[in-house]
Amino acid sequence: MPHHSERVPSAAVSRRGFLQSAAVGTVIMTTPRIASAASASAVKIESPFDGAILNRRHGKPLDGKLSIPVVCAAPLSEKVTINGQAARREGDKFVGDVALSGKVTEIVAASGEGAGRGEDRVRVVWDRYSRPRYHFAVDDNIYFLRDIARKRYASLFDCFYLKTLRDLHQKYGTRFSVNIYFAADDGFTLPEFPDRYKSEWKDNAGWLRLAFHAHADAPARPYQDAPAEKLIRDYDQVAEQIHRFAGAETFAPPTNLHWSMATPDALKALHQRGVRVLSGYFQPIDGRWDINYNFDARRSEYVSKNDLWMDFASGIIFIRDAIVCNATPVDRVAPTLDPLAREPDRRDTVNLLTHEQYFWPFYAGYVADHAERCEAAIRWATDHGYEPVFFHEGLLGGKE
């Protein structure tokens, strides 16, 4: 994740980076959702969006299923069917209902006959057991591991940083996904971290997990255009070290990559490594979508408005970061998060994010009340009925 983007003007996003990602975006836009329509008169499913993740709020219960509305555009002279049932006309749209009964449902809208037949397909995910839940991710971690390795504390929690996380866990039950680098800027690397704390890591694995984030803080955007092999090499190097010094119980697949950018092939490779959810900002920066895993404008905008989306090409769910705690003063935390709990579009899944370096007084961007900012976000989630989960488990931390 780009901790830089909060304090460096967005114009600092390099021209080179812009051109590279623009090129990647072009490639992605040539691989749209499945659409077998051959003619200009093809029917088009406008809603739900391909990859939408739906819960009870998006439909009506019907015999243990969830009945959701489907809206299509097609020439008004056409007869349109949705999953084989005749659609009804409402204004200039065609509308029908589809009952979701499994985790993934394909919706097929068809119009016309013979050579004039048109068809559109989308797939949606049903989060059948959805309930309000939140995940807390801390990105860009390496300093606390260096601190512990050098000070040789009796306990991991003699390091003030881990003690801060444990205090929050003890008070609110928060689970922390701590996404780490292999190397620090001064040359410290994970192989220097001792395995003498292994039992303490395991004892706390119920709420404290370590995951890969990047090889190092620099360069920025390390996986924006990198081949999948490079990303996986870096991933495996960090994963091996987590297993060595903290045990398999402590290891988790990451829920975010440094700068939230990757290629489509790299995303598929991450899925093979067990990655099921990735978060990003999904914001327009200087007029283009960024920190969005290189997805095109249509999909990036969808995530920005709906917070969740399944990329069926990789099998990974993408979620918008609800807040970046280090960049949000305490009195701005509730105003930032309040819209998520507002009806009728209340979110069931909230990703809280921050970055390790802002906890450290030696860091140029040190935030003296960083722990209070994190606590304010966690308190908000707690007060609004969200339960702490790990998004990499089950379906976004819930039952599948």
The residues of the shown chain that bind Zn ion, judged by CB under 5 A, are: 1, 139-140, 258
Number of Cα atoms under 13 Å in the Cβ half of residue 14 = 7
The two beta strands, 65-73 and 60-62, are antiparallel
Distance of closest approach, residue 359 Cβ to Zn ion, in angstroms:
14
Both tokens of residue 359?
């906890």
**Looking at the DSSP assignment, which residues form a beta bridge with residue 118?**
111
Distance of closest approach, residue 128 Cβ to Zn ion, in angstroms:
33
Residue 18's Cβ-count burial label (10 Å; 0-12, 13-18, 19+) is: middle
Q: Pick the closer one to Zn ion by CB: 262 or 310.
A: 262
Cα 378 vs. chain centroid, distance in angstroms? 18
Kindly report the backbone phi and psi dihedral angles of residue 215, in degrees, each rounded to the nearest multiple of 5, phi listed first: -70, -45
Q: Pick the closer one to Zn ion by CB: 281 or 309.
A: 281
Q: Pick the closer one to Zn ion by CB: 188 or 212.
A: 212
Distance of closest approach, residue 216 Cβ to Zn ion, in angstroms:
10
**Looking at the DSSP assignment, which residues form a beta bridge with residue 110?**
81, 119
User: Quick check: helix, strand or coil at residue 360?
Assistant: coil
Both tokens of residue 255?
């829920």
Q: Pick the closer one to Zn ion by CB: 1 or 125.
A: 1
- Looking at residue 334, the DSSP 8-state letter turns out to be H
Q: Pick the closer one to Zn ion by CB: 258 or 347.
A: 258
Distance of closest approach, residue 224 Cβ to Zn ion, in angstroms:
12
Distance of closest approach, residue 145 Cβ to Zn ion, in angstroms:
15
Q: Rounded to whole angstroms, how far apart are CA atoms 110 and 104?
A: 20
Distance of closest approach, residue 3 Cβ to Zn ion, in angstroms:
6
Distance of closest approach, residue 1 Cβ to Zn ion, in angstroms:
4
* Cβ contact 159:147 at 8 Å: yes
- Which own/partner pairs from 228-234 qualify as long-range (CB within 8 Å, at least 24 positions apart)? 228/263, 228/265, 228/266, 228/268, 228/269, 231/257, 231/262, 231/266, 231/269, 231/270, 232/266, 232/269, 232/270, 232/273, 234/182
Q: Pick the closer one to Zn ion by CB: 279 or 349.
A: 279
Q: Pick the closer one to Zn ion by CB: 70 or 220.
A: 220
